[in-house]
Amino acid sequence: MDIKKLIQDYLDYLEIEKNRSIKTRRNYERYLNKFLAFSKASKPGDITADVVRNYRLWLNRQPVFAKALAGKIGSSSNIKKNTQNYHLIALRNFLKYLARRDIEALASDKIELGRQEDRQVSFLEAHELQRLLASPEGDSFKAKRDRAILETLFSTGLRVSELCNLDRDSINLKSGEFSVRGKGSKIRIVFLSDGAKTAIKNYFEKRGDVDSALFIRYKKNFGKDNNLRITTRSVERLIKYYAAKAGLSKKVTPHTLRHSFATDLLANGADLRSVQEMLGHSNITTTQIYTHVTNRQLREIHKTFHGRQRK
């Protein structure tokens, strides 16, 4: 059977049966096409353990060119392990699909993922967070909106795309909780703090439109087009602006607030499973990047009990 046709069938299966997003479909298509270009496979039987091993070596040695690296155009480094694993996951899931259709091919469990480096998590300390949340000052629409955005991100741990997709009628300020559709169309419940509820209420009082979006663009742009919903890029820019205004030296992004949300919960006694649920992680190993909280507790234990006989 023609492997290109099978890949298109698999991508249709992802989109229809598995209800994956168009973006996920495009990513899988890109990863699988890269494998085809390397392997020159024309049928499932061409995918062998040796071919996959050579592909992994090739991936591991591929340079990535980016302006950001060393601040120079043309600087390079190798593809990160987690990015390499995305390619392998796409191939492995394609092989699972073939097995489900009783098409003879390499067993998916023959493909092991590479060990990823431990991630460094950037989060805000309590005093830094307080300065950031207080940085939108004044009574203007923009100040009220931006304060509501910052408070909502920290209160809920939402991804920036999830925040931008929220509608006004999805928010219940009385109960302080609402559902959100995250990655893989999974729905979870998130909660608003008193500070977030107050900030959103104050922001609503400044709204003079009937747009369905919860967070909209600055009023000076009204009338230019019918889509008032704020973009992820706009949220990223405003957080960068307020971080600088608050005098924070570290890089602050929407995901920094998500990390800060999880860190705050764990530092105050929340269990990892509950934090996993609130973040919308499908696998608890993803949530385990927040073990820096436990490490901090270990440091206190070391300080308290180590070398006491020398005092």
Other CB atoms within 10 Å distance of the CB of residue 170: 13
Specify the pLDDT at position 116.
Answer: 61
Q: 255: helix, coil or strand?
A: helix
CB 146 within 8 A of CB 200: no
| Per annotation, catalytic residue among 56, 92, 217, 281 | 281
- The token pair at 64 is 């990535």
| Per annotation, catalytic residue among 142, 183, 229, 292 | 183
| Per annotation, catalytic residue among 92, 197, 258, 259 | 258
Active site residue 26: no
| Per annotation, catalytic residue among 31, 55, 242, 290 | 290
pTM: 0.70
Specify the pLDDT at position 75.
Answer: 42
Active site residue 306: no
Question: What are 159-193's pLDDT values in tens digits?
Answer: 999 999 999 998 989 999 999 988 877 889 999 99
pLDDT average, residue stretch 198-219: 90
Pick from 109, 234, 224, 93: nearest CA to 163:
234
Q: Domains (ranges, CATH) in the chain?
A: 3-110 (1.10.150), 126-301 (1.10.443.10)
| pLDDT tops 80 at residue 293 | no
pLDDT average, residue stretch 65-84: 57
Kindly report the three-state secondary structure assignment for every residue of 240-251. HHHHHHCCCCCC
Pairing label, strands 187-191, 177-181 = antiparallel
Active site residue 290: yes
- The token pair at 28 is 């899988």
Lowest mean pLDDT among 30-34, 60-64, 92-96, 209-213: 60-64
| Per annotation, catalytic residue among 159, 203, 207, 259 | 159
Specify the pLDDT at position 65.
Answer: 47
- The token pair at 15 is 């989109």
Active site residue 119: no
Active site residue 10: no
pLDDT average, residue stretch 116-130: 80
Query: What are the residue ranges of helices labelled H in 80-185?
Result: 81-100, 126-134, 141-156, 160-164
